[in-house]
Every structure is written in structure tokens, then in C-alpha cells.
Structure 1
């Protein structure tokens, strides 16, 4: 989107605001020492240091070709040969090999004593992100089954690693494959009873936002194996971006509307989100994405921001209006419900936005895609 000469200054303010938000999160409960309420037996006392955006996930975990190297290789030293072998097999390209390795890991976890399984937590945390992004839905589903078995077995011993796991773990619950999403949900329930899940998410919300920010900025080829075809890399990128955005949307729904300034953890989350959505071309990359999965997630994100924190995009409305109202050109029916919800919420939040778009073209496009599912009254 075109911006005036003050755009650079605005982006600088966003970066500063984002940094302050990350600092606030650290100061108001982003360390595991504050996590003592016992979600499903969890009561962590050791923190994994966050990055500038609060991420506890190693940067290399986003690179599917990283393999078991460096710290991950060193972490295998404390494992017995069988467990180490299964983990090493996860670096193979063949999905059948990985599925068998994951099934063997799940069986091993279920059969051994918790104290024996605890040595598996660190190396598992270091490969979990790549397993959760795998192009094979069977691999992803089996990975979530391992995650559930691990959480059920080690209980509170998982707490020091929770922030490193939460980003990909929560995003997996929004996987476009229903079997994977269901398996991720079951594994999450194994760790946290329903009444405690909201608190667990709030404890790790900085890591969830950081994961989304990382996913949205990384190039598709860095999410896939070096041997992946362009089509495989594109499919993975589309799926991972969509799941990440949907996880952010659900996290934002947990925040109270209107609390976007000040010093609380909740307000800091909105600060991180503000920096993300005000970045150059952020909305164009979502609402005008080539793939329907990403566009639909973008529509839903715009809707929740317009409903809960419209001030985040207030200054961008003249530029966003043609993009939002121009979404009627989307020909994929699976995104039309989210599209209409977005348009209705956007125009309610910013009634003058109609003046920033060509109403004749918008009306023609709306007739092609049917009437909105709800009344505008």
C-alpha cells in the first residue's frame, strides 16, 4: 500500500512499540516462574528465555531441513539407543519412515516410567515444530499423538519447555486437515483440562504471537526440506501461514475489547499485533493472497480486529477500504462467509469507508457472490 513520507517514521514507532510490548510481557508474567496454578499438573519453575518478540522456539526449528544438529544432537546423548534412533529417523524424507518412528515413540512413551520419558522432552521439543509442519498429514497426526502421550506421561515436567512447544502445538489445532486438528486438540486436552486451557494460552501468548510473526516473514523455501519441490514448498507455506493466522485470531478473541493501551500483558499482546498488522503490505499479502486458505484466514483476522480493536487500523482505512471491499472478486466459495463477515464488520467499524471504494464495482461483485448471510441492520 502506498504511504506518505511519514511512513518510515510510523514503522519505526511500530518497532519501538513492539519492543516495549515484548518487555511488558516479560515483566508481567512471561516467565514460567509465574506459571504455578497447576494446569493439568503443570507448575513450571524454569523459564526458557524469549527472543525480542518473546519466542522461545529456536529459530532453526522453522527450517525443516535443519535436521538433528547442534543442540538437538547433543540432547540425544542422555537417551537410550532406541529413543535416539526413533528421533533420528524423523529427519528422513520418506513419510512412511517418519510415521513408523512416531508410532514407535508413542509406544515407548506409554510403556516407560515418567522419569525415563522426561529425558525425551528436550530433543522432542527441538523437532516438534518440523513434525507439526510436515507435508504428510499422517506424519502430523502421528506427531500430535506423540505430543499427547508425552504430556499425559510427564505432566509437570513439561512446564519448562511449554513455551517452546506452544506455538506449533496450538497452531496445529487449526490445521486444514480435520484429523490433524482433532489429534492436536486431544493432545492439548491431555495436558490441560478444559477449564485451564485459557490460562495456559495466556501464559504462552507471547510465544504464539511470535510464532505467527515468524511464519509470516519467513520465505516458503525455508519451511521445507531442501529436496522439496516448489509445489510442496508452496503447499506447506500456505497451510502453515493459514494455521498460524487462525491461532492468532483465537488468541485475540481471548483478549478484552478496547484494552489496547497501557501496561498489562493483554495490552502488550495488542501492541505486538499492532506492529504486525501495520507492517507494509501485511493486509495485501493476506486479503489478496493467491491461496484461498490464506485469504480466508485474512478475512477472519480483519473481522476480529474491526470488532475488538479497530483503532489498530484506523489510520490505514483509506488504503484498506479498496482492498477489503475489493475482496468480492474472490471466486472461491469456501471463503465467502468469512468475506461477508469481514465486510460487514469493517463497514460497521468504519462507515465512511464506502467512500474510499468504487461502489458500482463492489455492488456488481456482490451480486456475483450472493447476498450476505446476515442483515446489516
Structure 2
């Protein structure tokens, strides 16, 4: 830099050459020793070393010395040296941890002796104000804390007004690139300088005349050009936005910045797009609506589509919420072409699968449906061109090979589709998509049933709360799909393709999660399955399907009286309320009678399980009286009922326990027919009771737990005590 050029020397040792500078030498009259003087001076000098760790340790040592001191004279005497060092560290230090440590040190100094900085106000202001805009969040936060520690909030505008002239001189020197530092440092300094000007303008209007160079000799919009680094370009856009809000710029300024602003659509940097779309772009278009007469709109749409294809280059959370607003500035006539609409939708979907778009899928999908609504309202004559794109995200969802997770972003599609259809119905422009929706849904059901069921379930929940057209759409879709699946099952029955039949039945079973709420009748394949002697696996699936239609289930139960072999498959461990309601009382009594007659004195576990399953779930007072006295089945029924009640066992556990007791009886063990546990004849420790009529033995403890304590559950005669041998 040439001497006498008028530029500020940023390396100037602010006050160190004045005659009263006590940081250069030890003053014997000072209230501190020479050793203390040199210790602090050496610590400050170490902050100028190249090593970042040395700088941080030295700064921390200064903080410790300040916190432990009771007299701050030595530190105050060192201020000329420190102020220069502080300015140098916070501006030209590449290591962010060093800059952060410098501001933390300054916070402590301000807290102890801030009035001593009064004569260094101009020198200390610039590094503090630049630091507030540091790209490192921790550095910026500590710079703001330091600034607030020095100046109360109500006085800050006055401080800015007083010091801004010098700040502006230093900033312009930085922006003209008079300082030759590393690229990274220059980028940060230029960015901080621009953002510092922006913040000053937002804080006080009185300094606006001083920023004239930024829209005259060195226009701020020039810094958006591609030859500047991203931090500088993004900072300039934030600054432009403030200038727009303050009304600083005029029409001739708009015309000059127009090509640069729209040229940023082609930029591929995330920071640039975040700054562009945050507020600046739309603010500029709002201030200058005649831009359409001065640009090639087709070229703009092409650049926009390129940006969409690349997922907004990572700026999705800022870019996508502004997309519809931007399109509204272009006007209907610019979007009216079929090709334009198609390119927009395809570009958004391609962006969803791009490297940058993957991180912001929910923003992309939300923007997609916002565009659907926007063009549907603005261009109703293009409804046919628009309708085919409404379901494209749904197609992406249904093409998934596994259940959608939140990480995949597609989980929002059913909700967004439902909201879109509901809104379009309110506007009286409900789209014709029923046929395509059926094709996608049924195809998805065949390819990945779990995914398709999840999609339809969520879509059903969403649309049932909307208007009549939405409800009709989803109801008709479910009815048609249910009928088609049922027809496929009929076809598989006809050609005896049992493998595919099982797959189709599983599909229908999954689909009944949705269709059961619409009261769609179930085809009766049970009898057909029994007659064709289908596998137990297929019959179990049929039973699960039947249970979704309790009337059909009960019809199958009643029909099974002809042969009880498959009846156990139909009777659940626990009856649902719907199944209980479906059971007709007269038919139920007839069924129980048939089961009893079938059993007679046999020990058919499967049929017994059916009988017990019924008696456990339905009021047994009348049904039990159907069982004749002095029959083995009556004994077995009471055994199982007591086991289930007292032991709180499941039906399967009860049946297993009874089966074990039968084995013990065959081995000659005496078994208590209430608890089914063996009672060894020679075991005198177990007191027993014996029925005087049927000679069945029981434990006294077991008898105490039943209602008829004195009578045998089997023959209803009295018990008598027996003595073990």
C-alpha cells in the first residue's frame, strides 16, 4: 500500500508510540513489580506466535490473571499492546478457536475494567463489529457477548453512529482487496465487512449516507458475481435485502443488478442459494415487478428446472417453501405451456432422488404438492396435463420394496396427497384420478403388499375426514380392489393353483385391515376349502379372513357340525365381542349338543378344545346343563374349566395339562381331576378325598377352591375321606 494513499493501516499500533505508553517499559512507580510486568508482557507477546495452541494457552493465562487480580493497573497499562493484538487476532487469525479465545478474553477485560477502553473506542469497535458476523457460530456468539458487555443495548446505536465512519473506511479497504492475506481470511473479512454494514443499517438509519459507495462506486450487487467466494456472495445478498427493505435502492439500481440476481439461479453453491432464496430474490421481484419485461422468462424457467433437478444444491429448507411464490411472479402466461408444466414436475421429482435432495425429501414433496395446487387453480384448462402428475409421488411410494420409514421421506406422501385432494375439492376442481390410482394401488399390492396396505391405510384415514368426493374416491377404490382380489382367488381355486391361492389369500387378509371398516362382505370359501381338502395353512388363513366378517364366520361354524374335524380351526381361544354377537343362541345350543354327542366317552382333545373354547367364552349356565351326568365328558369339561379359572392358563395350556393327566392315568397314577396333578397312592403327606359313588379322587385343597365343596363335580355325590396306604 502506497504511503499517503489515505487508506487505513490495519496493522497500525494504535497508541503504542505515544509518550505515555506504559506497555513498552517498566515504570518503577507502578503498583506492580517488574517481574509481574514482564510476565504479562511476555504472555501477550506469546499470543503473536505461530502456534495456535500457544496462542490459546496464553489467552487463557491472561483470563486467569485478570480473574485472580485485585488491582488491574498492570493490565490497563498493557492495553495499547492488547488492543493491537486483539484486532490482529480477531481479523487475521485463521484458526477459529484462537478468535473465539480472543473474544472470551475481551469479555473478561470488559467485565473488570471496561471504562479503561474508552480512549480506544474507535480501535476496538471494528474487530468487535466484524466478529459479530464471523461465519463460525461460536466466534460470533462470543463477539456479541463482548459487544454487549461493553455497550448496553440502548446505547449501541449511538456507539455505531460514532464509530461507523472508521469502520466504513476499513471495510472499504477490505472490499477493494487492498489487504493481501490468504484466500480463506480474505473471504471471511469481506463477508464480515458486508454483513457488518448490513447490521449497522438495520440498527440505525443515520449512517445510511455513509454507505453510498456500496451503490455508487463499489456496488454491493457486484459482489454476487461468480469470481467472488461463496461467503462474500451470500453476504452481499443479505445486505442487498436490507437495502431493499430500507428503500435505499432505486429503479436504475434494480436494472443494473437484474442480470446478476437471475444469474445466481445457475450457481451451484449451497450458501449462495440459501442467501438468494431466504428473502432477497422474492423481495427484489416484489420491488421490481417489471422485471418480466427485461428478462427471458423461458431461460429463467430452464435455469429453475436445472436447480430443481439438483435438489436446490442443498438449500432445500429455504428454497422449496419459496418455490410457489417465485412461480406466481412469473405469471400464468409463462407457465401455460404443457411442456413447461411437465418439465417443472419432472424436475422436482428428479431433485428428490438427487444427492442433495435426499436430505430434504419432505420439503421437496411438500413443494411438489404446493405446485400441483397452484397450477391447478391458476391453469384449470390444463387439468388433464396436471392430473397425471398428482399421483407420481404415490407411485414412488408404492414402488418401494420395504415399509416406508421416516428417513425415506416418502412416508408423508399419503398425508400430502389427501390434503391436496381435500383442498382441490373445496375449490371445486377435484381431479379425475380414480382409474390411475387403482392401477397404482393394485400393482403395488401385488408387488409389495405391506407397502401398499400401509399406503392405502394412511390415505383412507386422511380422505375419510375430507369432503364427499374424497370419501367416495377411497371407498370406491377399496371396493374395486377387494372385488378384484376376490376374483383372483376364485380363479386360483378353479385352476387348483394352491401356491398362488395361498399368496392371494394372504393379500386379501392384509387388505381386510382396510376393507373391514367399510362392511364389505367376505366370500364363503370355507366349505369349498374343506371339500377340496386344502392344507391346514390355507384353512387357517381362511379362518382369519372369516373372522373379519363375524356373520360369515358363524355360518362356517354352523356348517362344520357335519364334521367336527376342522372345527378347532374356527374356534379362537378368546372370542371378540363381534364374534360373540354373531353366535345365534339356538344354533349355539345345537352346536354344543352336537359336540357332546360326538365326544360321548372319548377323549378327543381337538373336539374337547372346541367345546371348552365355547364354554369359556360364552355364559355357561345353560350350556353345561346339556352335558349328561355320570359321563366322562362332564368330568373332562369340569376339569378343564377349573384349570382355566384357577390357574389362569390359556386354552392351549389347559389342553396340554389335561393331555398329561390322561397319560398319568394310563400309567396307574391317581390323578386329582380338579387340578390334574398326580397323587401317588403311597404318599401319606397328601390328604385325599374320594367320591363315594364314582370313586374319583381329589385334593382337599382343590375342593375348597370350587363352588360345590361337598359334591363331586362329576357325579354330584358326596365326598368321603380316604386313608392312604
Does structure 2 retain, via aligned residues, the 8 Å contact 1:75–1:123?
no
Q: 1:199 and 2:199 equivalent?
A: no
Q: Counterpart in 2 of 1:89?
A: 46
Contact in 2 for aligned 1:337/1:373 (Cα 8 Å) = no
Q: Which residue of 1 aligns with 2:9?
A: 59
Matched residue, 1:102: 59
Measure, in 2, the Cα distance between the counterparts of 1:100 and 1:219: 32
Of 282-291 and 144-153, more deviation after overlay is shown by 282-291
Question: Which 5+ residue runs of structure 1 have no aligned equivalent?
Answer: 1-50, 224-232, 257-265
Q: Where in structure 2 are the equivalents of 1:346-365 lying within 5 Å?
A: 346-365=284-303
Paired position in structure 2 for 1:169: 128
Other-structure match for 2:87: 129
Q: Is the 8 A contact 1:117 1:153 kept in 2?
A: no
Distance 1:371 1:358 in 2: 22
- Residue 243 of structure 1 pairs with residue 192 of structure 2: yes
Residue of structure 1 equivalent to 2:304: 366
Mapped to 2, the partners of 1:358 and 1:129 lie a distance apart of 48
**Residue 74 of structure 2 is aligned with which of 116, 138, 150?**
116
Which structure has the larger Rg?
Answer: 2
2:18 is the alignment partner of 1:76: no
Q: Report SS of the residue matched to 1:77.
A: coil
Task: State the alpha-carbon separation in 2 of the partners of residues 178 and 255 from structure 1.
Answer: 24
Task: Name the SS of the counterpart of 2:103 in structure 1.
Answer: helix
Does the aligned pair in 2 maintain the 1:117–1:154 contact within 8 Å?
Answer: no
Q: 1:280 to 1:209 in 2, by over 3 A?
A: closer
Structure 1 pair 300–181 and aligned structure 2 pair: CA distance change class (3 A): same
Partner of 2:209 in structure 1? 271
Contact 2:125 2:163 in 1 (8 A): yes
- The two structures, once aligned, show a CA RMSD in angstroms of 2.9
- Residue number in structure 1 paired with 2:266: 329
Please tell me whether the aligned partners of residues 213 and 219 of structure 2 are also in contact (alpha carbons under 8 angstroms).
Answer: no
Per the alignment, do residues 60 and 217 of structure 1 end up closer, same or farther by CA in structure 2, a change over 3 Å counting?
same
Q: Is the 8 A contact 1:220 1:234 kept in 2?
A: no
Cα separation, partners in 2 of 1:213 and 1:372, compared to 1, 3 Å: farther
Aligned to 1:315: 252
- In structure 1, how many angstroms separate the alpha carbons of the residues matched to 2:24 and 2:199? 38
What TM-score results when the alignment is normalised by the length of structure 2?
0.38
2:595 maps to none
Given the two structures, how large is their TM-score scaled by the length of structure 1?
0.70
CA contact (8 A) 2:99 2:139 kept: yes
- Compared CA separation, residues 302 and 281, structure 1 to 2 (3 A): closer
SS in 1 for 2:132: helix
Verify: 1:297 aligned to 2:246, yes or no. Answer: no
2:460 counterpart residue number: none
Contact 1:245 1:298 in 2 (8 A): yes
CA distance in 2: counterparts of 1:279 and 1:250, whole angstroms: 21
Partner Cα distance (1:101, 1:76) in 2: 17
Q: 1:200-239 counterparts in 2 under 5 A?
A: 200-219=159-178, 221=180, 223=181, 233-239=182-188
* Alpha-carbon shift at residue 274 of structure 1 (Å): 1.2
Cα offset, 1:303, TM superposition: 0.9
Where does 1:138-149 land on structure 2 (aligned, <5 Å)? Answer: 138-149=97-108
Residue 97 of structure 2 aligns to a residue whose secondary structure is helix
SS at match of 2:135: coil
Q: Residue 355 and residue 72 in structure 1: after superposition, are their counterparts in 2 closer, same or farther (change >3 A)? A: farther
Q: Structure 1, residues 181-212: CA drift from partner, whole Å, max 9, x if none?
A: 12212222222233433333333222332332
The alpha-carbon deviation at position 94 of structure 1 amounts to 1.5
SS in 2 for 1:61: coil
5+ residue gaps, structure 2? 27-36, 313-318, 329-725
Which structure's relative contact order is higher, taking Cα pairs within 8 Å and 6+ residues apart?
A: 1
Question: Are 2:223 and 1:285 equivalent residues in the alignment?
Answer: yes
Between 1:142-151 and 1:106-115, the stretch displaced more is 106-115
Which of 186, 204, 219 pairs up with 2:145? 186
How far, CA to CA, are the matches of 1:138 and 1:358 in structure 2? 47
Separation in 2, partners of 1:332, 1:119: 48
Give the superposition deviation at 1:154.
Answer: 1.2
